[in-house]
Structure 1
Amino acid sequence: MTSGMFRPVRVALASVVLTLAVVALAGCSFGDEKEIWEIAGPVFGTEYHINVVLTGDEEELQTLSEGIEKELNKIDASMSTWKDDSELSMLNHRKDQSEWADISAPLAEVLATALRVSRLTDGAFDVTIGPVVNLWGFGPEARPDKVPDDGELAARLESTGYEKLEVRSDPPAIRASGPQYIDLSAIAKGYAVDAVGRFLEQAGVEAYLVEIGGEVRVNGRKPDGSAWRLAIEQPVSERRQINRVVALDQHSMATSGDYRNYYESNGRRYSHTIDPEDGQPINHNLASVTVITESAMLADALATGFNVMGYERAQALATRENIAAYFIVRGEDGFEVHNTPAFTSYLTQ
């Protein structure tokens, strides 16, 4: 990962896909008034964009940039399935997973949250689905020459199941009944967003926006006293378009949809989101779901689980559990939008 960079920004609206109005660093001077500064760089195969409200002290910005990069590098070294020497990859490659294996506290925290969401969603969110995700070509394995057949899917599904995992926090450790391949791609970015937010708060930054691959966490307000405005994207692949805007001065937001990461074969589109029940890419009328919670890690996992469940089941669960969720559904005459009561207060006029 390369070093982060920083520049002043004037943010009217930050979308979940990060549409930011920026001012070039050249010709700008550091001053005493607080303004929004962006620190950005590559990570996890995507990019991070972090807005901090500061006076613009160059030394402070550089220290923050280096600290953010260090935090993200630690998480990548722990939770990546694309790095053979990561903590998670080495766990996945253990021959005997039935014995307790020591793991880091952050990895234990992520796995514990993943299992909690799995239970809540009746398995719609399942981090053990990695072998099936790889079979469909959305993981470290190469894209398949053909769509997997029923026999291949059945063989890989046989080894999955979140119920086979057991995680403890003190001391942090994991064990499994049978070999497991864990994929944290639907929750690790959210955890990273939270980790960077905690780092910024510990460094004395009171107002910020952290975004990694569309997962967002905000705290405090912009210099003019206004809340951070985030756009929920219209779920179309051919262009960038805003569906609705929310305003946050705290909390986190994550969106899961089937309109960006997919491929087509024989005229059919295959989403990267896999249903753990049958091993098939999701295929229903829910185009995207956005979740707001205090934790980006939890929002990330819930959005994925709700996306797998489909609108009717997810809406019922989110309403029952008082979870702020916003659904964009494909209808006969175009997109329909629905939200739970808990989401209403975040919507702008």
Structure 2
Amino acid sequence: MLTSIFGAFKAFLKRTLQRLAVYLLAVFVVSPLTISLAFAEQKLVAIEGRTMGTTYHITWVAKSSFTAEQTANLQAKIDLRLLDINQAMSTYIPNSELSLFNKTASGTAQKVSAQLYRVLEMARKISVQSAGAYDITVGPLINLWGFGPDKRVTKAPSAEQIAAIRKRVGYQHLKLLADNKIKKEADLYLDLSSIAKGYAVDQLAKIVADAGFTAYLVEIGGELVSRGLKPQSQPWRIAIESPIAGRTVQRVVRVDDVAVATSGDYRNYFEEQGRRYSHIIDTATGRPITHNLASVTVLAENCALADGLATAFLAMGVEKSYLYAIDNGIEAFFIIKGKTGFIEKMTPGFAQRIVQ
């Protein structure tokens, strides 16, 4: 079983940099001679802010009469919702629901909010369907290898250290009971950083849609949802970053009416005696993975699912991930480390969205 999630803030910031492998191309060009009356009555409204150790950006198509005060009111709702999500799922807020549960002893049952329970359900479903490649309990192993908040190590831990920590890892030790109650049957430490951003994107998109907007793009730290089209029926587009140093663009992709998430392993690692250790951990061994998948971008019906699957796919490797994607109707784009450079592989549906 393979897995990858980030244990805490420091690793989460690094992971955010990786996952900013997807960034927005929200620029469109039109000739003044072709601006229609309908276009003249529309405008793009954009807001931004900070959350979850990264930034959020939201752009939507509004009537030209939409005011700055209305924009501020909508952003206030968005910021309040983000505070609520963080209070439920953050591992760096000491009194968040998740932090309080993490502090409880093995055998403890605790009632949690409906939204936290729902995200735990989604995480468990991905864990089961990916045969454990996705696991929100892997934080202690992430920390042991120096990719968590404790410290940055440059030496691999001993076999004895790995064996001791593995006893604290395993999604099957978390029980989801009736009435929004959860129970740990081991000394678990849960970390939802591999799905919470995606869930937050979905929730912010709902706020924008409930406000009456049908064309928008919502993004948090590179994870995003888009709906509808920009003015003059232009599609939303994103650029997928190449693993090559210098933040060059690998591909430009049309992403109308879809959720997108990206995960990569090409920035967060350390080297010892000429060997590179990735932050992606194989929980079957307690050691970093050794396959050659550098980055994966996933398209899905919602961003929580895309977020979790991007993490799972990166842990699984390209062969297993590609088969999973085909069998389950998931569109995905893989960048693979070859002997002389990077190789692309993508599902047929993803190929249809390639712009350049």
- Scaled by the length of structure 1, the TM-score of the pair is 0.87
Aligned to 2:174: 165
Kept after mapping to 2: 8 A contact 1:217/1:252: yes
Shift of 1:341: 2.6
Question: 2: distance between equivalents of 1:62 and 1:133?
Answer: 39
Residue in structure 1 matching 2:240, options 204, 219, 232: 232
- The 3-state SS of whatever aligns with 1:218 is strand
Distance 2:339 2:272 in 1: 25
- Work out which of the residue numbers 69, 75, 96 in structure 1 matches 2:79: 69
Spell out, residue by residue over 1:280-333, the C-alpha distance to the aligned partner (whole angstroms, 9 max, x if none): 233321111111001100001001101001111111121122211111111223
Which residue of the partner structure matches residue 38 of structure 1?
Answer: 46
The amino acid of 2:333's aligned partner reads: Y
Match for residue 100 of structure 1? 109
Aligned partner of 1:330 in structure 2 is 337
The answer on 1:17 being equivalent to 2:23 is yes
Contact 1:130–1:139 (CA<8 Å) still a contact in 2? yes
SS in 1 for 2:233: coil
Q: Residues 344 and 21 of structure 1: is their aligned pair in 2 closer, same or farther, counting only changes over 3 Å?
A: closer
Whole-angstrom CA distance in 1 between matches of 2:242 and 2:153: 30
Q: Which residue number corresponds to residue 99 of structure 2? A: 89
Deviation at 1:90, TM superposition (A): 0.3
Alignment partners' CA distance in 2, 1:133 and 1:18: 30
CA-CA distance at 1:148 after TM superposition: 2.0
Count of residue pairs brought into register by the alignment: 325
Q: Distance in 2 between matches of 1:47 and 1:279?
A: 32
Q: 1:18 and 1:142, CA in 2 relative to 1: closer, same or farther beyond 3 A? A: farther
Deviations 1:69-110 (A, max 9, x none): 1111111111111121111010010124x3431111111111
Tell me if structure 2 keeps the 8 A contact 1:125–1:276: no
Q: 1:1-349 residue pairs with structure 2 within 5 A?
A: 16-18=22-24, 33-54=41-62, 55=64, 56-96=66-106, 98-144=107-153, 146-168=155-177, 171-236=179-244, 238-348=245-355
How many angstroms does 1:196 deviate by? 0.6
Is the contact between residue 284 and residue 310 of structure 1 (CA under 8 Å) also seen in structure 2?
yes
How far has the Cα of 1:59 moved from its partner?
A: 1.1
Unpaired segments of 5 or more residues in structure 2?
1-19, 29-38
CA deviation after TM superposition for structure 1 residue 189, in Å? 0.7
Tell whether the 8 Å contact from 2:21 to 2:262 is kept in structure 1 after alignment.
no
Comparing 199-208 with 264-273, greater Cα deviation is found at 264-273
CA distance in 1, matches of 2:280, 2:51: 21
Deviations 1:103-135 (A, max 9, x none): 111111111111111111110100010111122
Letter of the structure 2 residue corresponding to residue 311 of structure 1: V
Aligned in 2, Cα 1:36/1:262: closer, same or farther, shift over 3 Å?
farther
Mapped partners of 1:269, 1:73: distance in 2? 38
Q: Which amino acid aligns with 1:17?
A: Y
Any idea what the Cα deviations from partners look like across 1:254-275, whole Å, max 9, x if unmatched? 1111123334455444333222
d(CA) in 2 for partners of 1:265, 1:199: 47
Matches of 1:332 and 1:139, distance apart in 2? 30
Kept after mapping to 2: 8 A contact 1:81/1:140: no
**3-state SS in 1 of match to 2:94:** coil
Aligned to 2:31: none
8 Å contact 2:25–2:236 — kept in the other structure? no
The answer (yes or no) to whether the contact 1:124–1:277 under 8 Å persists in 2 is: no
Are the counterparts in 2 of residues 15 and 230 from structure 1 also a CA contact under 8 Å?
no
Q: Quick check: 2:280–2:289 contact (8 Å CA) kept in 1? A: yes
Of Structure 1 and Structure 2, the greater helix share is in: 2
Give yes or no for contact 1:16–1:255 (8 Å, CA) kept in 2: yes
Q: 1:265 to 1:50 in 2, by over 3 A?
A: farther
- Aligned residue type for 1:293: A
Cross-structure match for 2:32: none
SS state at 1:239 partner: coil
Q: Report the alpha carbon displacement of residue 20 of structure 1 after superposing the two structures with TM.
A: 5.8
Q: Could you tell me whether the CA contact under 8 Å between 1:264 and 1:270 is conserved in 2?
A: yes
**SS across alignment from 1:243:** strand
> What amino acid does structure 2 have at the position aligned with 1:16?
V
User: Aligned partners of 2:274, 2:75: CA distance in 1, in Å?
Assistant: 45
| Separation in structure 1 between the aligned mates of residue 92 and residue 25 of structure 2, nearest angstrom | 28
